[in-house]
A and B are shown apart, each in its own frame.
Chain A
Amino acid sequence: MTTLDHLTDDIVAGRPEAAGEPTWLRDRRLEAAKRFIDQEWPNSRLDEYWRSTNFKRFKTDVELVTEAGGTADDLPRDGLTANTEHAAIVRIWDGGIVDLRVGTDAAASGLVVADLAEAAVTHEELVKRHLGSLTTTNAEGTGRDEDRTITANDAAWGPGVLVHIPAEVELAGPVGIRIHVTTPGAHLPRVLVVAEHHARGAIYVEHTSTELAAPTTVDEVVEVILGDSAHVDVVSLQEWQGDQVGHLSLQKAAVGDNATFRHLAVNIGGRTVRLRPEADMVGQGGMARPLGVYFADEGQHFDLQPYIRHIAPRATSDVLYKGALQGKSRTIFRGNILVEEGAVGTDTNETNRTLLLSGDARADSTPFLEIFCADITAGHGSATGQIDEDYLFYLAARGIPREEAVRLIVYGFFAEVIDEMDLPGVRERALEHIEREIEAADLDALAVRTGHHAPGAEVA
């Protein structure tokens, strides 16, 4: 049995994708496999970034899933990927890509969306240059060798997707990538997005599953390379069904001169989700806007770690994460903004707001700042609280029933984040999830804030 715990050279080299891969890629996989063997799984007591999530929540003695779960025809055409006018659609079902279509216009404009293993041959230079540039210590990118969770993906990733938006091409619709899991085990999807200078596009990465019968670990890496003045939006939806999925995801961008990277994480499903949306501000005047909404209920554990590294001068970043919790759930916002020595004129801000809807939930918020450069502006804020009784009273006085009032307030709370990602279908989809969560909430047990509170204490 080939489990995530026992990745070896043979297993890595023997992967179906690896069979037709060029030597350089094979060598990189083997290098990663060597590192993997030397490394250990993260230890919460030793690793600050694993402090809040016990790695044992992720099962590693589960078998690698390398076969597709079926054919495209058997895969329901639902979700965000089905609803909007896409420039391209990729559907991954368990260990294989079952559907890959690029729209005629998009293809004509030069958009490439391809199986990453094939692209390693057909677009060799591009893939060779960028793949792993943000996850491993290398000459090309700002990546550094990562912990074992990422090394595992570097060694044994598959299936993978390449999205290449040529210079000055603006996509009319999003590229939809659906990652659908029906077979329990270990899944190692990989996405590489390269947007050349002045390119523009949106990528949806939609994570779905059926209710699985056994523990499943999805260990995913998404790398996004933005050339000068490029604009890329990534929307990552965590919509796992049931309580078996542990999702590890690094979604990291290198942001070039005057480029804009926006990222929206919508976290609804999954037993344990540890998401690292990261941006390395490598170009002058770049902009990063990591956004997040999360709604955790009974048994769920979300550890969300947006991390911005300001390397080049005059870049800006603004992190905004808003979450709600109910039932016995736990969320961790672990933001970090690092401003390196030469990053003069950096302007950065980091905000986390949490609504606790029930008494058993636990919300941790740790918005870190690490600043090595004086000539900057930085701030962060965090607030955790409840719905204000005054608001409910105000709405009740206008004849709006309590249940409806709560919905309005929670909508309003999240809308600030969601409205900013003005992309087709995203707002509707995110609000649909939030509505479903509110419907499941026990409104009688809802905590509200009453009476004399400090001015400015409103969490929303």
Chain B
Amino acid sequence: MSDTTLPTSLTEAERNQREVADDLGAYKFGWADSDDKYSFTSKRGLTRETVEEISALKDEPQWMLDLRLRAYDAFLRRPMPNWGSDLSAIDFDDIYYFVRATEQQAASWDDLPEDIKNTYDKLGIPEAEQKRLIAGVAAQYESEVVYHKIREDLEEKGVLFLDTDTALREHPEIFREHFATVIPPNDNKFAALNTAVWSGGSFIWVPEGVKVDIPLQAYFRINKENMGQFERTLIIAEPGSYIHYVEGCTAPIYSSDSLHSAVVEIIVKKGARVRYTTIQNWSTNVYNLVTKRAVAHEDATMEWIDGNIGSKVTMKYPAVWLMGRGAKGEVLSVAYANDGQHQDAGAKMVHVASDTTSNIVSKSISKGTGRTSYRGLVKVEDGAHRVRSAVKCDALMLDDASRSDTYPYMEIEENDATVEHEATVSKVSDDQLFYMMSRGIDEDEAMAMIVRGFIEPIARELPMEYAVELNRLIELEMEGAIG
């Protein structure tokens, strides 16, 4: 800590950030655009007809409609989870299940309706694209992807990066071969809901041996009140390929709740590697109930990097099914729960094949009346030999009203597995603060530094811009942490 920057010598950038923070308060993305000019809005609530209507509007093949209807039945049949967060306030009849903001997907940002373009400008997405910090970008607004672009050289190499609706139209065979194979339609109530009404999301196919050096990015925006966003993402990494996909998400602040229930399926074939990074920053009226699962084949590597800062309730447990010998799974997760938020996040590692390894690192911070829960599973199936798994969860509690839970499940059916779990829960101690303050660091800054240090193992795994973003978000959340 000897090279710590003192508050008096903040860099200009840091000072600017602080001013921005002062201007906007804790949530910077809370504006809403008008929805007068939307080209289609479904009725509130969900019926069989809603499902049929969505499918018809998209002019889908019969098999997809059949799958949707099967999933709809499963959604009705499956019970609400009786664990985790209290979901009883979700009113499925009050939600808009499909909203088309604009008729045409735009080829350039300037072609988008003014409001939407402004929103993405404010989020800084076109700028990042222009600076070529990302290799491709997808922007989803309400139910559909309104802008899509991939770098020309990747297109030439055969990388497919499309919105999921377009992929179903243009690549029906590869789509049908993989869709809903990792997460079956009746997997859980919310995966069933997604399968019934899914719209948008990203479809990525990376050809054998192609390594995409900089990330593809998707940006999800909910604008309408009581919106339900159900994007569906499918990533297929052919043998020996590499892809890093980054998603971000924001929404306006409303007094009534919205629902975001995505399904993400990833297939990592032999020797391939997929890294999937999420910086989830929904406004605090969004229920974020997401099913994310990857299968990793022989010698493949799947990495989930999961930052949960926003939302009212998040229930999300990125999973890796290690199906091939030598496969690796990794989850790095950071969660921040402020007043009224519940981040119920974690990871699942299912070791089906021998010589597979997994690693989970979870860092959570709860402040005010916020609640963080780590909920995780490490399962070693019968027949999976020489499995190694390590889980480390640390929780930091900033206030007396905060809550932190750790629910790790380890189920081991082979005797030559090595599975370890460690967890700590602690408060920023007066000693730590005193030590730093005695060196002239004010209390707020000292607290922020401790929190930054706490999440550092995860922040350093992010691309630089995102690490900065994550730190900035947490700093915003930290405002007034010292009461």
A residues contacting B by CB (< 8 A) are 46, 48, 325, 341, 344, 354, 356-359, 361-386, 447, 449, 453-454, 457, 459
B397 at the interface (CB under 8 A from A): yes
B398 touches A384 (CB 8 A): no
Show 19 A/B contacts (Cβ-Cβ < 8 Å), sorted by A.
A48-B83, A359-B415, A362-B411, A365-B412, A366-B407, A366-B410, A368-B408, A370-B403, A370-B405, A374-B398, A374-B399, A374-B400, A374-B402, A375-B400, A376-B425, A377-B426, A379-B424, A381-B420, A385-B419
Q: Is the CB of A373 within 8 A of B400?
A: yes
B2 close to chain A: CB less than 8 A: no
Tell whether, in the assembled complex, residue B422 and residue A380 are in contact, meaning their CB atoms are under 8 Å apart: yes
Q: Using Cβ atoms and an 8 Å threshold, which residues of chain B touch A357?
A: 415
Tell me whether chain B's interface is mostly helix, strand or loop, or mixed: strand
Q: How far is the CA of A268 from the CA of B401 in the complex (A)?
A: 43
- Whether B420 and A382, one on each chain, are in contact in the complex, defined by CB atoms closer than 8 angstroms, is yes
Q: Which 6 A/B pairs are nearest by Cβ-Cβ distance?
A: A356-B415, A374-B397, A447-B415, A369-B406, A378-B425, A382-B421
Bound: A49/B10 CA distance, A:
52
Chain B residue numbers with a CB within 8 Å of A325 are 415
With A341-B400, A367-B408, A380-B406 known as contacts, the answer to whether A358 contacts B415 (CB < 8 A) is yes
Contact A381 B422 (CB under 8 A): yes
Our pick among A370, A376, A382, A383 for the contact of B427 (Cβ within 8 Å) is: A376
Task: Point out the residue from B83, B398, B404 that lies within 8 Å of A369, measured CB to CB.
Answer: B404
Chain B residues 354-391 with CB under 8 Å of chain A are 388, 390
Cβ of B9 < 8 Å from any Cβ of A? no
Q: Does B409 contact A (CB under 8 A)?
A: yes
Are the CB atoms of B421 and A365 closer together than 8 Å? Answer: yes
In the complex, are the beta carbons of A369 and B425 less than 8 A apart?
yes
How many interface residues does chain B have, given as a range? 35 or more
Q: Which residue of A lies closest to B357 (CB)?
A: A454
* B419 lies within 8 A of A380 (CB): no
Contact B427 A375 (CB under 8 A): yes
Given A378-B426, A379-B422, 4 more A-B residue pairs with CB atoms under 8 Å apart are A356-B414, A356-B417, A368-B406, A384-B412
Residue in A closest to B83 when the chains form the complex, CB atoms: A48
Shortest distance between the CB of B350 and any CB in chain A (Å): 14
Does residue B413 face the partner (Cβ distance < 8 Å to A)? Answer: yes
B423 at the interface (CB under 8 A from A): yes
A367→B412 CA distance, assembly (Å):
14
Could you tell me the distance between the alpha carbons of A367 and B418 in the complex, rounded to whole angstroms?
17
Provide the residues of chain A in CB contact with B461, threshold 8 Å.
none
A48: chain B residues within 8 A (beta carbon): 83
For A348, give the chain B residue with the smallest CB separation.
B425
Q: Is B416 an interface residue (CB 8 A)?
A: yes
Residue contact B423 to A381, C-beta cutoff 8 Å: yes
A46–B79 alpha-carbon span in the complex (Å): 11
Interchain pairs with CB closer than 8 A, number: 126
In whole angstroms, what is the CA distance A150 to B424 when docked? Answer: 33
Contacts of B413 in A (CB 8 A): 361-362
With the chains together, A341 CA to B408 CA distance in Å? Answer: 22
A371→B164 CA distance, assembly (Å): 41
Closest to A446 in B: B415
CB neighbours (8 Å) of B390 from chain A are: 454
Cα A48 to Cα B82 in complex, Å, equals 9
Instruction: Select the residue from B400, B408, B419 with max chain A CB neighbours within 10 A.
Output: B419
Nearest CB of B to A348, in Å: 9
Closest chain A CB from B169 CB (angstroms):
41
Task: Please give the distance in Å from B320's CB to the nearest CB on chain A.
Answer: 19
A341 to B398, alpha carbons, bound, how many Å?
14
Residues on B with C-beta less than 8 A from A364 are: 409-412
A314 to chain B, nearest CB (A): 14
Q: How far is the CA of A379 from the CA of B421 in the complex (A)?
A: 11
**Contact partners of B402 in chain A: CB under 8 A:** 374
Residues of chain B within 8 A (CB-CB) of A385 are 417-419
Cβ contact of B418, chosen from A359, A378, A379, A453, cutoff 8 A:
A453
The answer on a CB contact under 8 Å between B420 and A379 is no
Min distance, Cβ B266 to any Cβ of chain A, angstroms: 26
Q: How close is B431's CB to chain A, nearest CB, in angstroms?
A: 12
Q: Which residues of B contact A374 (CB under 8 A)?
A: 397-400, 402, 427
- Docked pose: A377 CA to B388 CA in angstroms: 28
Q: How far is the CA of A373 from the CA of B426 in the complex (A)?
A: 10
* Complex: A354 Cα to B399 Cα, angstroms: 35
Chain A nearest CB, measured from B341 CB (Å) = 16
Q: Which of B415, B419, B420, B424 contacts A361 (CB 8 A)?
A: B415
Please name all residues of chain B whose beta carbon is closer than 8 Å to the beta carbon of A46 when the two chains form the complex.
82
A381 touches B425 (CB 8 A): no
Instruction: Provide the B225-260 mask, 1 if CB < 8 A to any CB of A, else 0.
Output: 000000000000000000000000000000000000
Whether the pair A447, B416 counts as a contact (CB closer than 8 A) is yes
Known contacts A364-B411, A370-B405; is A383 also within 8 Å of B419 by CB? yes
Q: Nearest Cβ in chain B — how far from A2, in angstroms? A: 34
With a cutoff of 8 Å between Cβ atoms, the chain A residues found around residue B415 in the complex are 325, 356-359, 361, 386, 447
Query: Which of A325, A367, A447 has the most B CB atoms < 10 Å from its CB?
Result: A367
The CA of A436 and the CA of B334, in the complex, are separated in Å by 47
> Contact: B408 with A382, CB < 8 Å?
yes
Docked complex Cα distance between A344 and B402 (Å)? 13
Query: Shortest Cβ distance from A400 into chain B, in angstroms?
Result: 23
Q: Smallest CB-CB separation from A374: which chain B residue?
A: B397
Q: Name A358's closest neighbour in chain B (CB-CB).
A: B415
CB distance from A406 to the nearest CB of B (A): 14
A385 to B412, CA, bound (A): 10
Interface pair B423/A380, CB less than 8 Å apart: yes
Structural contact, A371 and B419, CB atoms closer than 8 A: no
Name the CB-closest residue of A to B379: A364
A372 CB contacts on chain B under 8 angstroms: 403
Please give the distance in Å from B324's CB to the nearest CB on chain A: 21
A453 to B427, CA, bound (A): 33
List the B side residues contacting A447 at CB < 8 Å: 415-416
B403 touches A363 (CB 8 A): no
Structural contact, B408 and A366, CB atoms closer than 8 A = yes
When distances are taken between beta carbons in the complex, the residues of chain B under 8 Å from A383 are: 418-421
Contact in complex: A365, B410 (CB < 8 Å)? yes
B:92-133 near A, CB below 8 Å: none
Interfacial chain A residues near B423, Cβ < 8 Å: 367, 369, 378-381
Which residues of A lie under 8 Å from residue B418 when comparing CB positions? 383-386, 449, 453-454, 457, 459
Asked whether, in the complex, the Cβ of A363 is within 8 Å of the Cβ of B425, the reply is: no
A361 to B414 Cα, complex, angstroms: 7
User: Who on chain B is nearest to A447 by CB?
Assistant: B415
Q: Residue B417 contacts which of A369, A373, A375, A384 (CB distance < 8 angstroms)?
A: A384
One digit per residue, 1 when the CB lies within 8 angstroms of any chain A CB and 0 when it does not, for chain B 416-451 equals 111111111111000000000000000000000000
| B388–A454 touching, CB < 8 Å | yes
A382 to B400, CA, bound (A): 28
Tell me if B421 and A381 are in contact (CB < 8 A): yes
A371 engages B414 (CB within 8 Å)? no
B contact residues around A370 at 8 Å (CB) = 403, 405-406
B62-97 contact mask (Cβ, 8 Å, vs A): 1 or 0: 000000000000000000001100000000000000
